[in-house]
């Protein structure tokens, strides 16, 4: 199973860019954990990576299995966001950085 469903070349390019972004985020930060977000009608399945500083990033994945496979490949723990919620450090980082950039 691939990380993304088959689609147009543009969709595959976008999917590849998303995976590369997530890999780079995990590679360049310490203490990264993955939070798998449930599928919604608006966004599909997404995965959030959270560093030990609370900095985070979110990208779409094909399905929950693809999110789990990515976390395994990156060697980082994976949590179900709908069950455990998000870490406090993520909320603090978001509050502190709201309106910047």
Surface-to-core class of residue 42, CB atoms within 10 Å of its CB (0-12 exposed, 13-18 middle, 19+ buried): exposed
pLDDT per residue as tens digits for the range 62-84: 899 999 999 999 999 999 999 99
What does the pLDDT look like over 34-58, one tens digit per residue?
999 999 888 889 999 999 999 999 9
Would 52 be classed as within a structural domain? yes
Closest CA to 86 of 55, 63, 64: 55
pTM of the entire structure?
0.85
Structural domains in the chain (count) = 1
Choice among 26-35, 82-91, 92-101 with the minimum mean pLDDT: 92-101
Residue 37, in any domain of the structure: yes
Does some domain include residue 87?
A: yes
| Residue 4 forms part of a structural domain | no
- Domain of residue 85, residue span: 9-97
88 Cβ partners below 8 Å, 6+ apart?
Answer: none
């Amino acid at each position: 199973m691939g990380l993304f469903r088959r689609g147009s070349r543009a969709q595959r390019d976008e999917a590849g860019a998303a995976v590369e972004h997530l890999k780079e985020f995990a590679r360049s930060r310490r203490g990264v954990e993955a939070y798998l977000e449930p599928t919604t009608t608006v966004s599909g399945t997404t995965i959030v990576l959270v560093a030990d500083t609370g900095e985070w990033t979110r990208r779409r994945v094909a399905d929950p299995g693809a999110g789990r496979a990515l976390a395994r490949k990156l060697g980082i723990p994976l949590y179900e966001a709908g069950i455990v919620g998000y870490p406090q450090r993520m909320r603090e980082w978001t509050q502190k950085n709201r309106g910047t950039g």
